[in-house]
Amino acid sequence: MKLDLTLPAAEAATGAVAQPVAPLSAKGADLIARTLVDIGIDTVFCYPGGANLEMLDALSRVSITLVRTEHEQGSVFGAQGYARATGKLGVCLATSGPGATNLVTGIADAASDSVPILAITGNVATHWLGKNAFQEVDIVAITKPVTKLARQVREARDIPAALREAAACALAGRPGPVLLDFPKDIQQARPDQPTDKRFTSAVPAGMSDETAQRIAALLAQSERPVIYAGGGVIASGTGAQLVALAEALDCPVALTMMGLGAVPDTHPLLLGPLGMHGAYVANVAVNEADLVLALGVRFDDRVIGDPASFARHAKIVHIDVDAAEIGKNKPVTLGVHADLRDAFTGLLAHAKRRDVPAWHAYLRERREAHPLRAPQAASPDDAGVLTGVDVIAALAALLPPEAVVTTGVGQHQMWAMQHLRLREPRTFLSSAGFGTMGFGLPAAIGAKVALPDVPVIDIDGDGSLNMSVNELSTCRRYGLGVKVLVINNQWLGMVRQWQDMIYARNRVASSLVDPNAALGADEGHPYPDFVTIAAGYGVAGARVTRAEQLPAALARMLADPSEPYLLDVLVAREDDVYPMIPAGKTYRDVVFGPGEAAGPIAAGAF
């Protein structure tokens, strides 16, 4: 199936769609379009404005699909969804001033999660730069802290080389965002002799055989080994090698949110996600291990909690493509600056099975003692009331392995991390490091454009979806069969949970119920009414209020892969995410439920 991303005939009739014209001239904007085609770009997510119309005009005449979103933030998250789902460079285009600044959150999000995107902005003509012209902003200065490269191109002849350099930079080593800013007169200029260069990306030196042998020796001495793997495995495409290494060593594996899908969820060596809301057994394993093999991770605070207490009795081997991450948050025994594609070759060459039955038995006991589970109904009055976990588990049972799931940010995101059954890389797309609400729907649009034959579902929260619900219009415009599953509890749920736990239930500004209605009144008509909103954008939808309605509603949502659809599911209003390790605490402080905790666990309890 190939998506038809041309605009409707009615819009074409107005002259909004460019008609065939004479052969391209060599304006700067044409050089931008031609170079993007030459480096393999097939899709650009965009929003038009005065300072980028030259580029849009040129892009409409080459073999690039333009996807116009409803907001520039939708464009940058669309580019992210495209990049996260494929590993290829995602591209977005905005105008100057507010158009450019509306990209900044998505650019920072891409930097946090190491996503390769190219943000292109137009700007005012060079002779107006620095003079507070209409919609002028120094977007290069604004984005330098959150990009690998940010540059304004001041000479039209430099356009091809600048684009090639930016694309190579975004994809090299640890991937990330880059930005190029083109003043309008540079887009309009006609250079006589454009410069063009091919860029080869610098790569870390390969891991030496001596280092591989040293790691093998440390593993051979270990009684409690664990592999802690993250987004670097996904970015490098080495999930199969990770599985092979774990099997060769008979070593358990814990994954970060960014690493989910690297090891199939059904694999017996997978402990699950770790961190603040991760599986208890995964947190036990990394904290009670005597050797942690950290692969493509950055020791994020939501994973390690208190750095001094994290894995305090373990030798830590950290392999990463970004040398700056090694030892940054946690001192390590051995740091190795290497691309995982190269490192796995050495690791597998020297891998020897280490029989540690007592360690495996101990971890099985921890898993059985505190499995990830849905909260129990509080009383018989709650019979038939759905929890977020109920809904996500029911969806997971229906999805094929290749289905791509995006999420917003909040409780629903954590429940999805815990309870989806992910069997392939690049199938769980979530704002992990930056935690950007509104990410889910536009990221799903980007993934669906990239993978039109694959089911794409946005699991969203009512608060998070409110920030990007306008992108339903993009789904309708281009016939994108994105499914939006709303876990609707009428709260900013994670905010409310923290307010209850830390601020004595002072629920300031976190309720989403109708301010003119009694709290909790008329659960069948939530506020806002997402089904009605979806209908306003021409998208079909339905609402579920009781457990018995869910199976048929999910089947209806998934029935037509080409149809955008929204399913609004009302869930228990005050359900919390467990387990939870309070910020800055250790796995020994984990809370399993209301009034519950793990109890005192001595260091080295194994």
**Residues forming the active site:** 72, 134-135, 184, 494
Query: How many C-beta atoms surround the C-beta of residue 152 within 10 A?
Result: 19
Query: How many C-beta atoms surround the C-beta of residue 357 within 10 A?
Result: 8
Give the position of tokens 């954590």: 414
What span, in angstroms and rounded, lies between the C-alpha atoms of 103 and 72? 6
Instruction: Write down the H helix ranges in 201-277.
Output: 209-221, 231-236, 239-249
Side-chain-side CA neighbours of 497 within 13 Å: the count stands at: 22
Closest residue by Cα to residue 278 from 249, 253, 315? 253
Give the position of tokens 């306008």: 470
Q: In what order do the strands lie in the sheet with 149-152?
A: 65-68, 43-46, 90-94, 117-123, 178-183, 149-152
Rounded to 5 degrees, what angle do the CA atoms 382, 386, 392 make?
Answer: 155
Q: Please, which residues bridge with residue 151 across strands?
A: 180
Give the position of tokens 């699909």: 65
- Side chain identity at residue 16, one-letter code: A
Burial class, 427, CB count within 10 angstroms (exposed 0-12 / middle 13-18 / buried 19+): buried
Query: How many C-beta atoms surround the C-beta of residue 142 within 10 A?
Result: 17
* Spatial contact of 59 and 25, defined as CB atoms under 8 Å apart: no
What span, in angstroms and rounded, lies between the C-alpha atoms of 125 and 300? 42
Tokens of 147: 């990009």
Tokens of 135: 């919609």
What span, in angstroms and rounded, lies between the C-alpha atoms of 181 and 162? 10
Q: Which residues contact 500 (CB under 8 A, 6 or more apart)?
A: 507, 576
Query: How many C-beta atoms surround the C-beta of residue 311 within 10 A?
Result: 23
* Spatial contact of 441 and 460, defined as CB atoms under 8 Å apart: yes
Q: Which residues contact 534 (CB under 8 A, 6 or more apart)?
A: 472, 484, 540, 541, 566
Rounded to 5 degrees, what angle do the CA atoms 467, 470, 476 make?
Answer: 145
Tokens of 163: 């684009």
Tokens of 387: 């929890």
Compute φ and ψ for 243, nearest 5 degrees. -60, -45
Compute φ and ψ for 252, nearest 5 degrees. -65, 155
What span, in angstroms and rounded, lies between the C-alpha atoms of 50 and 69? 16
- Side chain identity at residue 469, one-letter code: V
- Side chain identity at residue 397, one-letter code: A
Q: Which residues contact 250 (CB under 8 A, 6 or more apart)?
A: 269, 353, 354, 355, 356, 360
